[in-house]
Amino acid sequence: MAAAATPLLQRPAWKALEAHYAKAKDTHLRQLFADDPSRGQRFTDEAVGLFLDYSKNRITEDTLRLLLQLAEESGLRQRIDAMFRGDKINITENRAVLHVALRAPKGEKIVVDGEDVVPAVHAVLDKMSDFSNRVCSGSWKGHTGKRICNVINIGIGGSDLGPVMAYEALKHYSQRDMTFRFVSNVDGTDFAEAVRDLDAAETLFIVSSKTFTTLETMTNAHTARDWSLAALGGDEKAVAKHFVAVSTNTEGVEKFGIDTANMFEFWDWVGGRYSMDSAIGLSTMLAIGPDNFRAMLGGFHQMDEHFRTAPFEKNLPVLMGLLAVWYSDFFGVQTVAVLPYEQYLKRFPAYLQQLTMESNGKHVTLDGSRVNNDTGPIYWGEPGTNGQHSFYQLIHQGTRLIPCDFIGFYKALNPLGRHHDMLMANVFAQTEALAFGKTPEQVKAEGTPDWLVPHRVFGGNRPTNTILADKLTPETLGKLVALYEHSVFTQGAIWNIDSFDQWGVELGKVLAQRIIPELESEEEPKLAHDSSTNNLIGRYRQNK
């Protein structure tokens, strides 16, 4: 596997960027735009129907040249090729990283361990399509002969966040006479609220779990089984009509009592947070139909091809990834806000939190040595314009630098009077205000009393990307998600980290398994934790 030979801080481009940063760090966007009136056209890129304006970033031609050089010196090209070739680039789990195979068209060839995986991908897609058609047409019936009107996906993390986000994002295209819900939390409230107004005879559960061992998912799946059987007269045969599974673990699925004919398979080369277009997307397909699902995959594939083939200076995910590195490692930026001006994308920032932070929240490089630079920033966000009436204050006038991605569409899915122009005016106004701010002179000229002037000054120089597309369709969603996936990949390649493992979520899981019996036991357990944990457990036991 191609790893960058030279440690990051010793690469010539990195050193050159350090010197460049020292000179350029205080340059104001006002100055950059004044010096170069064509900047707003030049620092833009358009590919596969997505337009990126990155001119309101604190960069010059030199910055860009050095960042692109850093990409070359970091072996990004070789890393991209290795991923698409099916090399085991997730080195700590010895796995290929092939979410790109999930959206490869029929006839493409991607080989893992001597086997072309593309035919198997399409076989599962066909099986999903057939199942979706049967459920949505009503030919798949529940145990009592009623048609299925409610679908509940049970899963967590990568087996939940993608399906939830995609369902919300594509609700406009969904079958409106069906109800879709998502249960993830082991907190019983999640399940109780999801089923409280539903008839079990009309409800189908999709148990989505790559491993089929995850505590939360298995607990919720067993509760769902009990709930269904209690309402359906206790006949075990009902399980086959009301439960299907999405998993890599056939044995676990069988043991749960789900007929493996109703199991939709995926593979260990699909990471959880990269799995929304595998069978984990079954709820998405049920909601929007197979054709729309395939259109979404088509969007992903277009962005994959762009990422794989476009020169870095014209490559959207590469440019976005390099900008993220520039801010994280040189400006010391801690967080990035993603602000979709599209209500249907309300869960997009939550989805990106897992994609970005589970991938690049790493403290060692591929060879296990401690990184000497910051890695993945914290991603967060809310749809516009709501955020403007809350946390934007800090972005505009706080002491921290928070680069933002604004996402907007030329066309509304629900055109209502002047709404869309007003919405988009806010996108352009916010990025303008963040970049250029308002000087004390401008504030004074408005007749503001002297004492109030500092409070009303906007420093500006706050960087933003603006991403525009025609309208939110399944295909566009695929492109957008793939854009961020590959931007994350780019960052990970520069940092030389494993963006595809997630060891950091293990310890808490193991400790919880140890504590569960201590909370449940009738007898007073012998506690051997630290004094705080012992005390908290004791207090809970006394008061529960």
Q: Three-state SS for 489?
A: helix
β-bridge mates for residue 247, sequence order? 265
Contact letters (x/-) for ligand G6Q, 346-385, by CB under 6 A?
------------x---------------------------
Q: What tokens does 395 get?
A: 């972005």
Interacting residues with ligand G6Q between 128 and 157 (CB under 6 A): 156-157
Q: Is the Cα dihedral 341, 343, 348, 350 positive or negative? A: positive
Query: Minimum CB separation from ligand G6Q for residue 252, in Å?
Result: 10
Q: What tokens does 321 get?
A: 């990834």
Which region, judged by CB under 6 A, interacts with ligand G6Q, from 8-16, 49-57, 81-89, 266-274? 266-274
Contact letters (x/-) for ligand G6Q, 216-235, by CB under 6 A?
-x------------------
CB atoms closer than 10 angstroms to residue 165: 26
Contact letters (x/-) for ligand G6Q, 485-524, by CB under 6 A?
-----------------x----------------------
- Kindly give the pairing relationship between strand 111-112 and strand 115-116: antiparallel
- Kindly give the pairing relationship between strand 335-340 and strand 404-409: parallel
Query: Minimum CB separation from ligand G6Q for residue 500, in Å?
Result: 8
Annotated catalytic, 358? yes
Q: Three-state SS for 133?
A: helix
Annotated catalytic, 389? yes
Q: On the CB side of 176, how many CA atoms lie within 13 Å of its CA? A: 2
In the block, tokens 């979410």 appear at 99
Q: Three-state SS for 156?
A: coil
β-bridge mates for residue 182, sequence order? 153
Contact 267, 279 (CB under 8 A): no
- For residues 325 and 490, give the distance between their C-alpha atoms in angstroms, rounded to a whole number: 9
Q: Which helix (H) or strand (E) holds 337?
A: strand 335-340
**Which residues make Cβ contacts (< 8 Å) with residue 209, sequence separation at least 6?**
155, 159, 217, 218, 221, 245, 246, 247, 249
- For residues 536 and 542, give the distance between their C-alpha atoms in angstroms, rounded to a whole number: 10
Interacting residues with ligand G6Q between 153 and 192 (CB under 6 A): 156-159
Contacts with ligand G6Q by CB under 6 A: the residue count is 14
Q: Per the residue annotation, which of 358, 382, 485, 518 is the catalytic one?
A: 358
Query: 8 or 83, CB closer to ligand G6Q?
Result: 83
Query: Minimum CB separation from ligand G6Q for residue 34, in Å?
Result: 45
Query: Minimum CB separation from ligand G6Q for residue 86, in Å?
Result: 19
Query: 125 or 245, CB closer to ligand G6Q?
Result: 245
Residue 211 binds to ligand G6Q (criterion: CB under 6 A) = yes
Query: 273 or 479, CB closer to ligand G6Q?
Result: 273
Query: 157 or 381, CB closer to ligand G6Q?
Result: 157
Which region, judged by CB under 6 A, interacts with ligand G6Q, from 20-28, 185-193, 210-218, 514-522? 210-218
Query: Minimum CB separation from ligand G6Q for residue 402, in Å?
Result: 26
Query: Minimum CB separation from ligand G6Q for residue 259, in Å?
Result: 20
Query: Minimum CB separation from ligand G6Q for residue 217, in Å?
Result: 5
Interacting residues with ligand G6Q between 302 and 331 (CB under 6 A): none
Which region, judged by CB under 6 A, interacts with ligand G6Q, from 203-211, 384-392, 442-450, 533-541? 203-211
Q: Per the residue annotation, which of 25, 411, 419, 509 is the catalytic one?
A: 509
Residue 284 binds to ligand G6Q (criterion: CB under 6 A) = no
- For residues 311 and 472, give the distance between their C-alpha atoms in angstroms, rounded to a whole number: 27
Query: Minimum CB separation from ligand G6Q for residue 274, in Å?
Result: 7
Which region, judged by CB under 6 A, interacts with ligand G6Q, from 271-279, 327-335, 415-423, 464-472? 271-279
**Which residues make Cβ contacts (< 8 Å) with residue 333, sequence separation at least 6?**
327, 377, 401, 402, 403
Q: Per the residue annotation, which of 389, 455, 526, 544 is the catalytic one?
A: 389
Residue 271 binds to ligand G6Q (criterion: CB under 6 A) = yes
Q: How many angstroms separate the Cα of 152 from the Cα of each of 206, 220, 401? A: 6, 11, 40
CB atoms closer than 10 angstroms to residue 205: 27
Binding site residues, ligand G6Q, CB under 6 A? 156-159, 209-211, 214, 217, 271-273, 358, 502
By annotation, the residues acting in catalysis are 358, 389, 509
